[in-house]
Structure 1
């Protein structure tokens, strides 16, 4: 593709059709039209996630939105695609995996494609790791360095000399 053609496509707002999964539109591949991506780094405890529902059960999205809107310290809005909800929550209060499990228990049908399953697994791993690091005991680095240096001082090294100190000194 020439640079002129690339600029023309970019400026016209058109996207080049991609190969790949049959019947899967570019919109369904992107995370809620670019509003919320699962792979954007979110280092703090406040998370923004896109929850995808099965496209065959669109009326469930409205029910789930009203159900989730009643949760304290939780924001929910519609995504660019009709089967996507955008979630905002603090990791100290909710997890994406917990929300998805609760919705499945209530009978909601979430997207079960390979991309959604991989994304959910990655998000669950990341959030579990962040929670473990957040609530785990803090290691005192300075203290551990002191402990190891003292142990090293008392450890017999390969260059240990059995000669008493007074005989080793020059007079």
Structure 2
């Protein structure tokens, strides 16, 4: 029987693009540290994050897709693409062996699934705290 540590992954996310990579890394750090499925997030330098997570709960592809959907620009160099493909193959194989296959429809709206709780708990002024019958009163 395998221990839970066999499913823990520590991956690097690098930011590049027209936006400031350091500002992107800081913004992503602020968002990812509030996600309950992510165990740990830290920034070893200005343009990278190291994320620790359980592959049974979330995958690297879902993390990257969620950040991309929100507007972050990740490193897209050849080395990053190779690393991304290796991570995806490795994690998809583990999930398939556990019966947790990742289907294409699972990846759609990854940002919504990952960040919806964070958004709900933020004080953003988009809530109407009145009871429903008061809001619908004409």
Q: Which residues of structure 1 form unaligned runs of 5+? A: 1-42, 137-171
2:14 counterpart of 1:49? no
Count, aligned residues: 93
In structure 2, the residue matched to 1:29 is: none
Q: Distance in 2 between matches of 1:45 and 1:133?
A: 12
Q: Which of 63, 72, 81 is 1:117 aligned to?
A: 81
CA RMSD of aligned residues (A): 1.6
Q: Which of 28, 31, 35 is 1:64 aligned to?
A: 28
CA offset digits 1:70-99 (Å, max 9, x no partner): 1014110012x3211010001111100100
- The structure with the largest strand share of the pair is 2
If you compute each CA radius of gyration, which structure gives the higher value, 1 or 2?
1
TM-score for the superposition, normalised by structure 1: 0.51
Q: Which residues of structure 2 form unaligned runs of 5+? A: 101-138
Aligned-partner SS, 1:87: strand
1:117: Cα distance to partner?
0.7
Aligned-partner SS, 1:123: helix
Aligned-partner SS, 1:135: coil
